[in-house]
Structure 1
Amino acid sequence: MESGPAIFAGVAFGLFGAALLVWTGVRVAHRAPVAAGVSPTAAVALTALSGAASLALGLWCLSRV
């Protein structure tokens, strides 16, 4: 009963993190801006860090099941 919320949170964080990393990679590969009005280097670094942190949090939640 208590593992249901952990599974939901893990899947949600994992999907978001993976999607953010894929989206950032595609934008960088096409040399398109990742964020409007921000330095390209800072935008890529911040979104990649956020995506990796979200993916790691999702994996951590799923490991606690």
Structure 2
Amino acid sequence: MESVPAVFAGAVFGLFGAGLLAWTGARAAHREPVAYGARPVTSVVIAGAAGAGALALAVWCFGQI
């Protein structure tokens, strides 16, 4: 019963991280801004780090099961 929250949190972090990385990659590939008003390289790096961090949290949550 205690693994249900870990599975839910892992799924949420995994979906968010994968979606953010896919969206960031698609925007960067088409040379469109990831964040308006920010430098393109900086916004790609920060969004990529946030996506990778979310995926790392998903792996950690699934490891708690």
Structure 2 unaligned segments of length 5 or more: list them. Answer: none
Q: Which stretches of structure 1, 4 residues or more, deviate above 4 A after TM superposition?
A: none
Match of 1:4 in 2: 4
TM-score normalized by the length of structure 1? 0.98
Distance 2:38 2:22 in 1: 20
Distance 2:63 2:11 in 1: 11
TM-score normalized by the length of structure 2? 0.98
How far off its partner does 1:55 sit?
0.5
Match of 2:36 in 1: 36
Structure 1 unaligned segments of length 5 or more: list them. Answer: none
Aligned sequence identity (%): 55
How far off its partner does 1:59 sit?
0.9
How far off its partner does 1:40 sit?
0.4
Root mean square deviation of aligned Cα? 0.4
